């Protein structure tokens, strides 16, 4: 049976929490690599490079840090201004220690049902250019 048939939840949030705890327990600095192009990601855009952003999520650098199965939320200061950040778990690309690079990087294909903004726009364009769809019909079987 495949994971979809068993309806298992993704492993990413569980592994991310474990790696975060391991990094902190070893007095290292946890850094979060984020896909900043994810439509629901709320990160400071002025620090995004090549569609990604690296965030320092050390306990002394963030406030109200919460890592759930759906998202990582916290507030942090950027250029002196406090910002609320929201990172969907699907947008988490990796979690690693700044000092030695050890951590875990995730397979983007783990969440195949998510679409990027470009994919959403492309599918909306296709719907408008495709030929009209047939009306649904009901057929009785004997």
Other residues' Cβ atoms within 10 Å of the Cβ of residue 5: 7
pLDDT, tens digit (0-9, with 9 covering 90-100), for 81-94: 999 999 999 999 99
pTM over 0.85: no
b/e per residue, 99-126, with b = 16+ CB within 10 A?
Answer: eeeebbebeeeebeeeeeeeeeeeeeee
Distance CA 112, CA 46 (A): 28
Q: Are 114 and 39 in contact (CB under 8 A)?
A: no
pLDDT in tens, 55-79: 999 999 999 999 999 999 999 999 9
């Amino acid at each position: 049976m495949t994971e979809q048939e068993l309806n298992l939840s993704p492993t990413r949030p569980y592994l991310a929490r474990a790696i975060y705890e391991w990094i902190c327990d070893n007095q290292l600095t946890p850094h979060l690599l984020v896909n900043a192009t994810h439509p629901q990601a709320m990160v400071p855009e002025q620090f995004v490079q090549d569609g990604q952003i690296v965030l320092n999520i050390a306990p002394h650098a963030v406030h109200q840090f919460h890592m759930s199965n759906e998202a990582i939320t916290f507030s942090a200061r950027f250029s002196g201004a406090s910002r609320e950040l929201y990172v969907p778990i699907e947008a988490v690309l990796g979690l690693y220690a700044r000092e030695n690079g050890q951590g875990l990087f995730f397979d983007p294909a783990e969440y195949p049902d998510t679409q990027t903004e470009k994919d959403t726009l492309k599918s909306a364009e296709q719907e408008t250019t495709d030929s009209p769809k047939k009306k649904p019909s009901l057929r009785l079987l004997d």
